[in-house]
A and B are shown apart, each in its own frame.
Chain A
Amino acid sequence: MSASSLPQAATPAAPAPAKVETPFRRFVSEFFESKTATVGLIVFTLLVLIALFAPLIAPQNPYDLAQLDIMDGRLEPGTRNGMDTFTYWLGTDDQGRDMLSGIMYGLRISLSVGAGSAIIACLVGASLGLLAAYAGGRTDSVIMRLVDLQLSFPSILAALMILAFLGKGVMNVVLALVIVEWAYYARTVRGTALVERRREYIEAAQCLALPTHRVIFRHLLPNCMPPLIVVGTMQIARAIALEATLSFLGLGVPITEPSLGLLISNGYEYMLSGKYWISFYPGIALLITIVSINLVGDHLRDVLNPRLKK
């Protein structure tokens, strides 16, 4: 990937050729050079569509208790339902919840929790990290001590407290994840920015008396992007997995509105007894989701990295 992007990147490096090439177009064409990343993006788009239209395409509303029948519990994949109106293609869980529908709805929750918390955490964390690195001094100390405080606070305890204050719910889980994760971004960005701000181009920008926010966001931030994207990619995956873990510990989303993680942890008790489908299929769905996000993020990093394009 790098070898192919390198000679191509070398051409536009020559100043102002007559070709009309916006940075965005260049980015798009570079992105689609990778087949795996393209596949990842397609799969991810598909998953997002499934999540968006779950209420229209799922055979059952798994969140409506009236539609579940406990007598249909733990049926094997391919069994017809008790009323003989549709087939449980992926079987049912202990409550008689259709796993296929459960996965579709669970995807909605997992994706929105993962992406939502990662984006908010990134915004908060990166801004604070940049500020810390750029301002230095007392601001830096205060922010970094806050980071220490945050990183030393077990996510489970933070989640437990937040959920105790606010009660269970998707938004509260997002909030808990943001509180748990922003510090990672802050620390990463600060670490890189600390190195970057000593570099000549920042000094040059400062000498030109550019406004501070311009220096930070137009000069410092883009050069801090590569590690931010590495961390960001991992944090989305991590957010989704962490939500699953919270569910495993009984602290996640409400039990009647399971996310992929909660479906896995509900079914995991049945793994030893041979009823693999309750945990297995949500596990596969989770895996595909995270892997597709990571394939995209992985390649994004290569494309966005300014240093790979020197």
Chain B
Amino acid sequence: MSLYLLRRLFQAALVMLAMSVIVFVGVYAIGDPVEILISPDADQIERERAIKALGLDLPLWMQYLSFLGNALRGDLGRSFVFNEPALQLILQRMPATLELAFGATIMALIIGIPLGLYAGLKPKSPVSKTIMTASIFGFSLPTFWVGLMLIMVFAVQLGWLPSTGRGETVEVLGMRWSFLTWDGLRHLAMPALNLALFKISLVIRLTRAGVRETMLMDYVKFARAKGLTNKRVIFVHVFKNIMIPVVTVVGLELGSTIAFSVVTESVFAWPGMGKLIIDSINVLDRPVIVAYLMIIVLMFITINLLVDLSYSALDPRVRLENKQ
């Protein structure tokens, strides 16, 4: 088991290495950060000075090597734009994104699983059909458009919720969280729902598909034949089985939610990591892009590992030890 973990960690390091090379080459191919950041009034001498100040005058491979050297000592570089350590910049923004992503995921599970169960158990009922149609709409609408509609309806027309931004925060464990205040929750509601919409549909469909398949399995039939109550059959036998795809997908989705909350964050002016990365891409702030992607890679690898581990817990047929 520990050997398995070690191997995964080693692989993670390789992936991160590959990622950093891609970003270096990619940013280099896209353009010149100085051209974007520098005041247009600047003359050629000023431009050269800025290029030197940011270390961009060296050949790319030398820039990369010095980055690598620093990275091994835990220094991922300083943001070109903010002149602060890139890692610190990202960690500051992380709580905002985390609470958004978890908020959305929790919403998706709380709303999605019961609706999916119902639709799976009573596929013929009109309510189920409505649920399924609604779920199709859920992932058909582009996020940015739904976001704006939500703002139009709930903030501008009805005035129930604040239109944008993050609410009051309290400091816990050295990080600022907004979900612990009423004002924070009010600000969180719309962006979380916006981000959750796609996932709710996903969970509904996965749950329903799982339920329908499982109900036809021999062991379910057998459990019923044994005279177990319907409730017990559903919540013990069926539920356990449908959780595998749900766990996989929701686990994967949590990672991608954190990584790709860019659109929701930019529509709702949510000061999270997604907003930071899109801003950084727009100004080619390479240290931040690299550091961000490193963190995301690490997170994905962790999530995948957890998903694999829970696979083996939920489905004894999948044995990690069997993997060579």
In the complex, A308 has a CB within 8 A of chain B? yes
Q: Knowing A136-B323, A157-B26, A248-B144 touch, does A234 contact B139 (C-beta < 8 A)? A: yes
In the complex, A287 has a CB within 8 A of chain B? yes
| Closest-CB distance, A41 to chain B (whole angstroms) | 15
In the complex, B278 has a CB within 8 A of chain A? yes
B140, A237: Cβ atoms under 8 Å?
yes
B318, A194: Cβ atoms under 8 Å?
yes
B152, A272: Cβ atoms under 8 Å?
yes
B209, A301: Cβ atoms under 8 Å?
yes
In the complex, B189 has a CB within 8 A of chain A? no
In the complex, B136 has a CB within 8 A of chain A? yes
B143, A298: Cβ atoms under 8 Å?
no
CB neighbors of A among B283-324 (8 A): 289, 293, 296-297, 299-301, 304, 311, 315, 317-318, 323-324
In the complex, B101 has a CB within 8 A of chain A? no
| Closest-CB distance, B313 to chain A (whole angstroms) | 14
In the complex, A191 has a CB within 8 A of chain B? yes
In the complex, B256 has a CB within 8 A of chain A? yes
In the complex, A19 has a CB within 8 A of chain B? no
Interface-side segment among B60-68, B164-172, B257-265:
B257-265
In the complex, B109 has a CB within 8 A of chain A? no
CB neighbors of B among A127-164 (8 A): 136-138, 140-141, 144-145, 148-149, 151-157, 160-161, 164
B136, A295: Cβ atoms under 8 Å?
yes
B29, A279: Cβ atoms under 8 Å?
no
Residues of A near B318 (CB, < 8 A) are 194-195, 198
Q: Which of B11, B209, B259, B263 contacts A226 (CB 8 A)?
A: B209
B260, A154: Cβ atoms under 8 Å?
yes
Q: Which of A140, A164, A265 contacts B144 (CB 8 A)?
A: A265
Residues of A near B299 (CB, < 8 A) are 152
List the A residue with the shortest CB-CB distance to B156.
Answer: A272
CB neighbors of B among A1-34 (8 A): 1-3, 6
CA distance in complex: A265, B263 (Å): 13
In the complex, B92 has a CB within 8 A of chain A? no
Q: Which of A137, A140, A161, A238 contacts B29 (CB 8 A)?
A: A161
A152, B140: Cβ atoms under 8 Å?
no
What does the 1/0 interface line of A243-284 toward B look like (CB < 8 Å)?
A: 011001100000000000100110010011000000100010
Residues of B near A161 (CB, < 8 A) are 26, 29-30
B139, A237: Cβ atoms under 8 Å?
yes
Interface size class of A (residues with CB under 8 A): 35 or more
Interface size class of B (residues with CB under 8 A): 35 or more
A308, B255: Cβ atoms under 8 Å?
no
In the complex, B53 has a CB within 8 A of chain A? no
Q: Knowing A3-B124, A286-B140 touch, does A268 contact B317 (C-beta < 8 A)? A: no
Residues of B near A188 (CB, < 8 A) are 248
Residues of B near A291 (CB, < 8 A) are 136-137, 140
In the complex, B31 has a CB within 8 A of chain A? yes
In the complex, A202 has a CB within 8 A of chain B? no
What does the 1/0 interface line of A275-310 toward B look like (CB < 8 Å)?
A: 000010001001100110011001001100101101
Residues of A near B144 (CB, < 8 A) are 244-245, 248, 265, 268
CA distance in complex: A157, B22 (Å): 11
What does the 1/0 interface line of B12-30 toward A look like (CB < 8 Å)?
A: 1011001100100010011
Residues of B near A308 (CB, < 8 A) are 212-213, 216
A1, B216: Cβ atoms under 8 Å?
no
In the complex, A227 has a CB within 8 A of chain B? yes
A198, B202: Cβ atoms under 8 Å?
no
| Closest-CB distance, B202 to chain A (whole angstroms) | 7
| Closest-CB distance, A266 to chain B (whole angstroms) | 12
| Closest-CB distance, B287 to chain A (whole angstroms) | 15
In the complex, A187 has a CB within 8 A of chain B? yes
Q: Knowing A2-B212, A248-B263 touch, does A152 contact B300 (C-beta < 8 A)? A: yes
Residues of A near B152 (CB, < 8 A) are 271-272
Chain B residues at the A interface, C-beta cutoff of 8 Å: 7, 11-12, 14-15, 18-19, 22, 26, 29-31, 123-124, 129, 132, 136-137, 139-145, 148, 152, 156, 202, 205-206, 209, 212-213, 216-217, 245, 248, 252, 255-256, 259-260, 262-263, 277-278, 281, 289, 293, 296-297, 299-301, 304, 311, 315, 317-318, 323-324
Q: Report the 3 A-B pairs with minimum CB-CB distance, sorted nearest first.
A: A290-B140, A164-B30, A152-B300
A-B contact pairs, 9 of them (CB 8 A): A1-B123, A2-B123, A152-B255, A155-B260, A164-B30, A230-B209, A268-B145, A302-B212, A310-B216
